[in-house]
Every structure is written in C-alpha cells, then in structure tokens.
Structure 1
C-alpha cells in the first residue's frame, strides 16, 4: 500500500478487479471494488501520503485559473441503460436507487407499462417499464467491456407520485454543460424520440436526455 515512506500503490482493482480481468474472489461478495476493504484502505493510505512541492504548485496553479463560464457544469443527470439505449433523467427527480426486485402483478390492470407493484425499503411503489413506454426492445443488450452490469430499480418522483423504474445497467451521475446538449438525431426510433429533450455525449456514450415532465405525465396517466 501507499505509505508516507513509500509511493507504491498496490492497485489490484486494475489487475484482478473490475478494471482488470475480474478474477478476484472478493468480487462475488462486494460486486464492485469500491465496496472492498482493500480499496478503502488504499484510498485512506493514498490520502495520507506525503506530497512534494511540485504537487502543491500544480494545485496552486489549478485554483489560480479563471473559470471559463462557457464550460461551467450547470446540470446533472443519472445515466442508465435500457436494452441498448443509454438514457438519463434529471437528478432532481431521483429519490433513491435500489436492487432489482420482482414486481407483483395487479389484478385487472393490463397496461404494458405497468408491471405491478414492488417493495423498496418497506414501501410499495408502482413498477413501470420505461422500455414499454419508449418502444425499446429490453431483450437487446450491449457488451460490457471490463465492467460489471448493475441492474437496478430507480425510484423517481413526479409531482406527488413515486415510481420504481427497472433499468438494465446503471452508469451513475453525470454533470454536464446544458449548452452541449444536442437535438435528437432523426434516425432515433419515433417512440423514443418524442420523449427526448436532447442527446448528451459523455465518454464513449450517446445519452438520450429524457423529458422528465413528459415521462412523469405519461407514467401518471398509466395509473389512472
């Protein structure tokens, strides 16, 4: 590990962890390296390491730089995947993220978007399928290169109603500049396109930014 006397970091997560060949026997229990005590110990040791003058000068230069208003990160969203599509919703409507759970069907309710009700932390929420609403084939998937897939339930609130939305994979929160959002391409399927407010480029992904108000209205309408 990194210590005050040694700058060497044993970064096993890059060799046998989620960024390596994923052969670590701890992954079955921890799912991701960031949940492992080895990773936590390495972070703690890294924060306690001695720093030299060049490191201090580098950060001093960083904080002396004038902010570029044109590149200010003024928005954030939660990025997730359904089928092959990377999508996002504003973080403002996100209530929580939970492990996937099997929904219980509701009698006499046959809307494709309504999967039933699901228990999240002791509270029952209507479980809604964004895939059905957006016309996305949820059986399709994308190859995961060097990373685990995190299927989750997203609990979101629109007005006074909360919904649980199953997603095939969770990327996480992305901060971005609103001015960089582009109009949706004409080649996007029409079922999805009508619910998009734009497309965001991040890393190697093209992320569809969902219109939260329109999505919330349609989900609430399904429950009526």
Structure 2
C-alpha cells in the first residue's frame, strides 16, 4: 500500500486537551459546554485526522517483518489436556477424552464390588456411571495434600469416555485446560513413585506446576479391567 504524501498542515495535530483541556489546566472555554474533551468536535476531528495520517515507512517495514517471520514449529501448542489434582499430584489427560465436569457426589456402593478401584456408581444429570478411583489405581495417597494458595479448591467428578464406556473420576482439584507443545514434554523424574510412573507418558510444565501426563490408552485399559 502506498502512503499518501506528507502534508504538515494536514497531518499535524494540536493536542489541546493536554494543554487547556481535562488533561491540562482546564482553561478551555469549550469545557463549560462539553464537560469533557471527548465530547468536543475539536477532539473528534483530531481523532479522525490521526486515523487518516499516512503510515510511516518504518512502521510498515516493522509489521511486514513481523508477519513474514517463520513460525517456530518446535514451540507450537499442538496438544491440549485437562489438568487436575489427586492428593499432591497434578495430572493430565487429553481434552478429547472428557465429556463433562460435575460436582462431586458420594457414590452408591455396589454389593460385593467394593475395592479394586471401583467406588460404586454415581448419578450425573440423570444417568448412572461407574465411579473409579484413580488414586487407588495409581497408588496415590489422597491425604495430606497442601492447601491451595490464593484460591478456593473444589472437588469434582470428571466424566471420561474411553471406547464407548464412560467413567466418573473423582479429583481433589481442577486446574483447567492447558495447551502445550508436545515436543516440550519431558521424561518423568526417577523420584516419582513406581505405581504412578508406569502410567505416565511424560511431564509438562505450566507456570509453577509440574504435571504428569497420563498414558491415555493404558489408563483406559485399566479402567475397563477394573469394571469387569
């Protein structure tokens, strides 16, 4: 786009509002009528002339360089996950496997089916779902979790669907959806307990949080096995 030729008389703007207006000494005679400079036709005319000024060559060059820059493929946020907490552990599963989030309710225990990770059944929006304990499956101690700083925490039920079977998973806290670059996923630390580490595909960082990304297929397989 070619810039219009510069016209000093046309392009100069008298910012009287900063001198005699509301941002100045307020001596402008028009203030009694308009109360504020933004209601004055002089201010409106200055705004119009400011928007119609030709673009500076350096400004055009800077933005042209910005949009010509090649995206860093290594930093593209190509994955998303829902992050939640069980005990002290922040964990995540891909967003695509979740159906909804619901308030936590006490599950109804099934006769002769207690333990082994199946907590019972829960009613979510009029439908019954098996309530599964990821804490038991992953060997996580749910007691003694540190209190959250600066915000309230609320236990939730996450409704997950795997191979046409839905499961309700109780969690102690919900961080929300996080987008990240799959290339930045790190190997789980050797200090993570063995019961949990075998279910992790990697670790991501979100602010101060170190989040364990669960292996979706392995978790789905184990949930189905516990339901048999």
Regarding TM over 0.5, the answer is: yes
* Structure 2 CA distance for partners of 1:179 and 1:107, relative to 1, 3 Å: same
2 CA distance for matches of 1:175 and 1:222? 30
Q: How does 1:1-224 map to 2 (within 5 A)?
A: 64=67, 65-224=69-228
Per the normalisation by structure 2, the TM-score is 0.70
Indicate the RMSD between aligned Cα atoms, in angstroms: 2.0
* Structure 2 CA distance for partners of 1:161 and 1:62, relative to 1, 3 Å: farther
In structure 1, stretches of 5+ residues that fail to align are: 1-51
* Structure 2 CA distance for partners of 1:119 and 1:187, relative to 1, 3 Å: same
* Structure 2 CA distance for partners of 1:61 and 1:80, relative to 1, 3 Å: farther
Do 1:111 and 1:222's aligned partners in 2 also have CA atoms closer than 8 Å? no
Q: C-alpha offsets along residues 120-176 of structure 1, whole Å, 9 cap, x if unaligned?
A: 111100000000000000112122111110211000011011000000000000000
In structure 2, stretches of 5+ residues that fail to align are: 1-49, 52-58
1:63 shift after superposition? 7.0
Structure 1 runs (4+) greater than 3 angstroms displaced: 60-63
1:110 shift after superposition? 2.5
* Structure 2 CA distance for partners of 1:63 and 1:152, relative to 1, 3 Å: farther
For this pair of structures, how many residues does the alignment match? 169
Give the 3-state SS of the residue equivalent to 2:170 in structure 1. strand
1 CA distance for matches of 2:154 and 2:114? 28
Per the normalisation by structure 1, the TM-score is 0.71
Q: C-alpha offsets along residues 191-211 of structure 1, whole Å, 9 cap, x if unaligned?
A: 001100011111001100000
1 CA distance for matches of 2:108 and 2:64? 57
